[in-house]
Structure 1
Amino acid sequence: MSNKGTGKKISQASAMRRVELGLARRRRREERFRRLSFSAVVLSIGFLVLLFASIISNGWSAFLRTDILLDVHFDKAVLDVNSLVNANYGKLIKQSMRELLPEVASRRDKRALYRLVSSGASYELQKMVVADPALIGKTVSLWLPADDLADMLLKGKIDRESPETERAMSDKQIQWVDHFIAQGRMKQHFNTTFFQAGDSREPELAGIRGAVMGSLFTLLVTLALSFPVSVAAAVYLEEFAPKKRWTDLVEVNINNLAAVPSIVFGLLGLAVFLNFFGMPRSSPLVGGMVLSLMTLPTIIIASRASLQAVPPSIREAALGVGASKMQTVFHHVLPLAMPGMMTGTIIGLSRALGETAPLLMIGMVAFIVDVPGNITDPATGLPVQIFLWADSPERAFVERTSAAILVLLMVLIAMNGLAVYLRQKFERRW
């Protein structure tokens, strides 16, 4: 008996030992998995911080613009009162520049001096004189936009120490810029043009207003088309449609459409809306219709999930007091599901706001200077504007690309924050 008892104790101790070893291995595996998961989160946050740091470091300077102070004499001999729009305002700027540096004599040096002022400065003078012809004959001190090269020099984007043949500005131009800075005639101011102007070939004159308005009109069309259709489709499928094979087929196709690449919807819009129906190319109307097709599946899925979250007891109580099926849905179920539907709609619209490929396919990649005034005017979107600027060779467009990305990210963050706020404020706990 003693041998059997001893053997039994040994076997129990051996089993316990194996269990302890197994538990130790499992704890080590869990600890490794926890560390790997934590490292993945830290790595993701690190890449996100690196991305934002890169965008901010490249884009913050776009919110500043270099201006030059000129004493402009609105010479009557230059300005024809009968044709103020077509007057030679560039000549007035050249005269002002020569008065600042009268020692510049050669034609080549004069051309280099004139290039320090933006070509858009003459348009600003034109607007001023057309709005107030009483300026003719007077001398006015005005802050006018400097050329993008002078702007890049003040922002440290042009290396002064590099050889003259390897940089865009000559030594004389750099000396003139330093001279204007010392006199207080060249400074940096907040770049209101970036928010008030449309696109331009000149970086110092380019702005995002046209692209922002184009995106706004496009989203309005998308919202007007996708929200009612999506809610109606979700209500029918969830509350009224019989559970048959064709209903299952529709549900599967809706889920599949949510995963279709966005460029496919752009091709569909090109073939149907532009080529077949002949609708205006490069307009927010067509862009909104294309993005509506893309966002419909997303909003339908979110709306159905919101309807499913309403407890059956709400429906049963309404039906129990004599309400019809229609009254139950529209008076009780739909109001309770509406916050979730609104959240899904905002998320769908934020996705549509960041899309570029569908808009490229319908021609919203055109160079648009004028700010659109309605949904049928030629326009572009903010993501497409970013795409266009990223492809521009000028160094000054790099910072404007990053600044436009910052604006787009802020809008997207605000839209997603609104969705989170609505969900937390109106969400019901059943």
Structure 2
Amino acid sequence: MTDLTQAQVRERIEKGLASRHRKEKLFRGLGIGSIAFGILAVVILFTDIISKGSGAFVQTAIQLEVHYDQQVLGIDKVDDESLTWANFTGVIRQSLRDRFPSVAGRSDKRELYTLISSGAPFTLRDRLAENPDLLGKSERVWLSADDDVDTFVKSLKDSKEGFRGRTSDQKAGWIEQLLESGELKKRFNTTFFTNGDSREPEQAGIRAALMGSLFTLLVTLALSFPIGVAAAIYLEEYAPKNRWTDLIEVNINNLAAVPSIVFGLLGLAIFINFFELPRSAPLVGGLVLTLMTLPTIIISSRAALKAVPPSIRQAAMGMGASRMQVVFHHVLPLAMPGMLTGAIIGMAQALGETAPLLMIGMVAFIVDVPTGVTDPATVLPVQIFLWADSPERAFMERTSAAIMVLLSVLIVMNTSAVLLRKKLERRW
């Protein structure tokens, strides 16, 4: 009877162990599957963005023999006033007619003129301003093609059939002639990094949005980091533990979960309507993002202060240090790596925000590059939002390319936070 009972117990134990092992394998498989699914989703996302946005880093250009004819330009000398009123568009059109002399008829000529971007006259103006001796002479110049031409050229395959869009058969024939003669090429698109926004895709760039993001983040960092660190030091090192401090801690944790658009409404009501600060300025954007990132920085700073062993404080006090000396000479230097990590993560969160900045008017169409925190500006996420809503096909490339730039900056910031923490942190 006893041997039979032991056998039954052993059998039950073995069944129980087998069941536990099956559940552990199932749980492990679910974990691996979740990680694989997440990696697959990220790979698909990045592949889609890169495939759509990589074309924005190259731009189609057409080479023309340009003659700076004084009669066509309507000027007899090179100075600021003359260049302002000079007819560079007429010079480009004359060059196109010389390149395609067989084109006749008003409608055909109008279509021929659409090969070149509407921003090409500004390129000629800058060249003539840099080299006044070119007046009355000729030179071969590479000029940006129109966005429809750029889209068509980028979609061409071996069959010479690409996305036509608004490109007629006649226009496609001109493009093919330029390709065969080597007068049409795809070059690195410096305009994308040097220009501000534009209604024309081939002239649109992200420089104004990048500078706006930079000024906004500088204001945010200058305000949120010292205020957040000071609040964390007070709550962790000086504040008495009572219901008021508990209430403050609960509110800080709740503020970290408040939707960002609420902070935008708060900034609109206080900073713009009450204090009458300039709308669509990095100063106001930085103030709004400061309110949004403060809870994150306070929470991470308090966690960094808590991670410092109590023995550090006790040893410093035992040596006769005051409370302030303990905090600023011993605790704060040890907690600073964690605080900096939290600040960088908060800045990365602020860089990717759109909703609160839309509420304070940073959705405006900004062409000029801002030079200060009070100049009208937009930011990179808002620029992406504006381009994504544009009907032109070429803006789809710009949207994906701007997303690539934004993700690259965010990856650099988050990687810097991890490396900084590993380099500066101390283990006890």
Q: Same fold (TM over 0.5)?
A: yes
Contact 2:264–2:355 (8 Å) recurs in 1: yes
Query: What is the letter of the counterpart of residue 246 of structure 1?
Result: W
Query: What is the letter of the counterpart of residue 142 of structure 2?
Result: W
Distance 1:32 1:331 in 2: 51
Paired residues for 1:42-191 under 5 Å: 42-79=36-73, 80=75, 81=77, 83-156=82-155, 161=161, 167-191=165-189
Query: What is the letter of the counterpart of residue 393 of structure 1?
Result: P
- SS of the residue 2:142 aligns to: strand
Query: What is the letter of the counterpart of residue 136 of structure 1?
Result: L
Q: Deviation digits for residues 233-270 of structure 1, max 9, x if unmatched?
A: 00100101111110111011111111111111001001
Q: Deviation digits for residues 365-414 of structure 1, max 9, x if unmatched?
A: 01100000100000000000001111111111111111110000110000
Residue in structure 2 matching 1:14, options 8, 15, 24: 8
Residue in structure 2 matching 1:285, options 274, 283, 288: 283
- C-alpha displacement at 1:358, in angstroms? 0.7
- SS of the residue 2:263 aligns to: helix
**CA-atom RMSD in angstroms:** 1.4
Query: What is the letter of the counterpart of residue 61 of structure 1?
Result: G
- C-alpha displacement at 1:145, in angstroms? 0.3
- Residue aligning to 1:202: 200
Cα 1:222–1:24 change in 2 (3 A) is: same
Residue in structure 1 matching 2:22, options 28, 38, 47: 28
Distance 1:235 1:8 in 2: 67
Q: 124-133 vs 382-391, which deviates more?
A: 124-133
Q: Deviation digits for residues 95-145 of structure 1, max 9, x if unmatched?
A: 000000000001111111110100000111122223433221111110010
Residue in structure 1 matching 2:269, options 263, 271, 279: 271
Query: What is the letter of the counterpart of residue 270 of structure 2?
Result: V
- C-alpha displacement at 1:162, in angstroms? 8.1
Distance 2:242 2:324 in 1: 21
Q: Deviation digits for residues 196-227 of structure 1, max 9, x if unmatched?
A: 00001111111000000000000000000001
- Residue aligning to 1:4: none
Distance 1:127 1:358 in 2: 39
Q: 144-153 vs 130-139, which deviates more?
A: 130-139
Query: What is the letter of the counterpart of residue 147 of structure 1?
Result: D
Contact 1:314–1:333 (8 Å) recurs in 2: yes
Query: What is the letter of the counterpart of residue 276 of structure 2?
Result: G
Runs of 4+ aligned residues of structure 1 deviating over 6 Å after TM superposition are: 157-160
Distance 2:163 2:95 in 1: 30
- SS of the residue 1:85 aligns to: helix
Contact 2:301–2:342 (8 Å) recurs in 1: yes
Distance 2:379 2:205 in 1: 12
- SS of the residue 2:139 aligns to: strand
Distance 2:128 2:349 in 1: 45
- Residue aligning to 2:227: 229
- C-alpha displacement at 1:36, in angstroms? 1.4
- SS of the residue 1:77 aligns to: helix
Distance 1:376 1:428 in 2: 41
Distance 1:86 1:377 in 2: 28
- Residue aligning to 2:316: 318
- SS of the residue 1:297 aligns to: helix
- C-alpha displacement at 1:13, in angstroms? 1.0
Distance 2:291 2:380 in 1: 20
Contact 1:346–1:419 (8 Å) recurs in 2: yes
Cα 1:399–1:157 change in 2 (3 A) is: farther
- C-alpha displacement at 1:157, in angstroms? 6.8
Distance 1:162 1:100 in 2: 24
Distance 1:111 1:160 in 2: 24
- Residue aligning to 1:253: 251
Cα 1:329–1:143 change in 2 (3 A) is: same
Q: Deviation digits for residues 23-66 of structure 1, max 9, x if unmatched?
A: 11121121111111111111111011000000010111110010
- C-alpha displacement at 1:352, in angstroms? 0.3
* TM-score (norm. length: structure 1): 0.96
Distance 1:312 1:43 in 2: 43
Distance 2:229 2:406 in 1: 28
* TM-score (norm. length: structure 2): 0.96
Query: What is the letter of the counterpart of residue 182 of structure 2?
Result: G
Contact 2:151–2:163 (8 Å) recurs in 1: no
Contact 1:85–1:130 (8 Å) recurs in 2: no
Query: What is the letter of the counterpart of residue 8 of structure 1?
Result: T
- SS of the residue 1:69 aligns to: strand
- Residue aligning to 1:347: 345
- SS of the residue 1:42 aligns to: helix
- Residue aligning to 1:3: none
- Residue aligning to 2:381: 383
Distance 2:26 2:326 in 1: 53
Distance 2:420 2:392 in 1: 43
Distance 1:387 1:371 in 2: 18
Distance 1:29 1:245 in 2: 45
Distance 1:40 1:324 in 2: 52
Cα 1:162–1:149 change in 2 (3 A) is: closer
Distance 1:208 1:271 in 2: 29
Cα 1:157–1:394 change in 2 (3 A) is: farther
Contact 1:283–1:376 (8 Å) recurs in 2: yes
Structure 1 unaligned residues grouped into runs of 5+: 1-6
Q: Deviation digits for residues 274-316 of structure 1, max 9, x if unmatched?
A: 1111100000000000000000000001111111111111111
How many residues end up aligned between the 2 structures?
Answer: 422
Query: What is the letter of the counterpart of residue 407 of structure 1?
Result: V
Distance 1:254 1:157 in 2: 56
- C-alpha displacement at 1:161, in angstroms? 4.9
